[in-house]
Structure 1
Amino acid sequence: MTTYDRIGATYNHTRRPDHRIAVKIHEALGDASTVINVGAGASSYEPPHTVLAVEPSAVMIAQRPAGSARALQASAESIPIADNSADAAMAILTVHHWTNLEAGIEELLRIARQRVVIFTWDQAIFRRFWLLDEYLPEVAAFTDTRSVLIDRLIALLGDARVETVPIPHDCTDGFGAAFWRRPAAYLDPNVRAGISMLAQTGEEVVLPGLARLSSDLSSGLWHERHADLLDCETLDVGYRLLVADL
């Protein structure tokens, strides 16, 4: 059983792709006319010319909408397709779940002819996010163990340009820091179920910190402390696109 067989059942409700992030990902794919999505989940951010989705979790594959690309149940570390099978390979918020990063990156480089695009985060920036820094240090420690250094990815790719992806205040994709200006969302267990760092850390660990967040929201302390965020349209919380031209 994969991680997402256990925690992925609600993803098509809380993890709807954000069109502004989609634009950045699709621009990074450039002129690729065929794309393979590795660690594809429920199909978020797949462009129309996606020819194959590689996903190990049957629970996630079952949530893929009708008409989406054909799904192959396989892991990123061992993809049973030919070399140079598509112009581009993309991996969206997935590399931190791979059991063998080196093998997974080798597979991306093997199956792509022109380009590899990876959406991930810079942990040095991400762990300063107020939710982790002020309320959930245990989750910050957990993400320290799971995150992948940007420099390590660049080295494995052989080189890549790095693009900052600011997160809109009304982001529709409920990943880790998507609710940076909507703190009450983190009090919703359905939202938390769609955020792997919270779901994997466990409710018994996160509930004390969330109780403090609830109290600070009720008293107005959170809004006083983060008044500077309330007028921001986007925020750099550490999310990054890596684009490697082959």
Structure 2
Amino acid sequence: MSGGGVHHRYDETGLTYASTRQPDPRIGAAINAALAGMASVANIGAGTGSYEPAQTVIAVEPSRVMINQRRTDAASAVQAVAEHLPLRSASVDASVAVLTVHHWRDLKRGLAELIRVARRRVAILTWDHDTFKEFWLLRDYLPAAAATDAQLAVPISTLMALLGEATAIPIPVPHDCTDGFGGAYWRRPHAYLDETVRAGMSLCALTPKHQLEEGLSRLATELNTGEWHLKYAHLLNLPELDLGYRLLVAELP
């Protein structure tokens, strides 16, 4: 999510979201737990409605393409940006932003808006690039995507400073994660060879294709020869992996 006019980067990269970005129930449970007791929630940068808490009363999303992919029974959505929320101050118990702050043009203003509209709590799902850059896909095969990720990522320390008192909760990625974000297929490497899967990941969709070709070709070869499975044998029986995804929860004074 970011500022700007009606045309938005997700008008292109968001086209595959409904098929590749199905919310994972375990991640959803962590978000719901962080919002327990909140009677009303505003979902900011809501996209297609993944991880939208049941108590959501309004969703805010800048991309019409994303809004059009929302379920018919989802909360009402308005087309707007985080930096200019069309909501009254203290109008909901909590505001939530899921994998979106890295798209905002003015982070400080966007977070101030999240705090302004919420009475009690703010929750933000994001990721720590310093951890994620050690993920085998970025470290060993797609350094250009790692560079894109470094540009996209918002430092956890920056978010914590802007939120004030906040708790960072690690959100490990299940080995069979149903949400196709960047780290989802850490134990299912063949998925990264699928162009449709990559189209739903910002770090790949926003990296020039020619910069990914060599690494993807090498990954395909090493999967065919079995070299990948030897190299990463230590991962193959893990049920989940910490790739740096973090849920930041701030209680408002």
TM-score bucket (shorter structure): over 0.9
Shift of 1:3: 1.1
For 1:35-74, what aligned pairs fall within 5 Å after superposition? 35-74=41-80
Structure-1 residue corresponding to 2:19: 13
Structure-1 residue corresponding to 2:249: 243
Give me the whole-angstrom Cα distance separating, in 1, the residues matched to 2:143 and 2:13.
21
Task: Give 5+ residue unaligned stretches, structure 1.
Answer: none
1:118 aligns with 2:137: no
Shift of 1:80: 1.5
Structure-1 residue corresponding to 2:161: 155
Structure-2 residue corresponding to 1:188: 194
Select 1:169's aligned residue among 146, 155, 175.
175
Tell me the SS of whatever aligns to 2:181.
coil
Give me the whole-angstrom Cα distance separating, in 2, the residues matched to 1:21 and 1:174.
12
Structure-2 residue corresponding to 1:31: 37
Q: What letter matches 1:226 in structure 2? A: Y
1:234 aligns with 2:240: yes
User: Could you state the TM-score of these two structures normalised by the residue count of structure 2?
Assistant: 0.96
Tell me the SS of whatever aligns to 2:119.
strand
Shift of 1:97: 0.6
Q: Please, what is the CA RMSD of the aligned residues? A: 0.7
Task: Give 5+ residue unaligned stretches, structure 2.
Answer: 1-6
Q: Deviations over 1:198-223 (max 9, x none)?
A: 00113222122100100110111110
Q: How much identity, in percent, do the aligned residues show?
A: 53
Q: Deviations over 1:48-75 (max 9, x none)?
A: 1100000000000000011100001000
Tell me the SS of whatever aligns to 1:201.
coil
Give me the whole-angstrom Cα distance separating, in 2, the residues matched to 1:168 and 1:72.
32
Tell me the SS of whatever aligns to 1:170.
coil
Structure-2 residue corresponding to 1:217: 223
Shift of 1:170: 0.2
1:198 aligns with 2:198: no
Tell me the SS of whatever aligns to 2:58.
strand
Give me the whole-angstrom Cα distance separating, in 2, the residues matched to 1:160 and 1:32.
17
Tell me the SS of whatever aligns to 1:116.
strand
Q: What letter matches 1:153 in structure 2? A: L
Shift of 1:76: 0.7
Give me the whole-angstrom Cα distance separating, in 1, the residues matched to 2:165 and 2:158.
10
Aligned residues: 246
Tell me the SS of whatever aligns to 2:80.
coil
Q: What letter matches 1:160 in structure 2? A: A
Give me the whole-angstrom Cα distance separating, in 2, the residues matched to 1:106 and 1:30.
22
Give me the whole-angstrom Cα distance separating, in 1, the residues matched to 2:230 and 2:198.
24
Give me the whole-angstrom Cα distance separating, in 1, the residues matched to 2:230 and 2:179.
26
Tell me the SS of whatever aligns to 1:8.
helix
For 1:98-113, what aligned pairs fall within 5 Å after superposition? 98-113=104-119
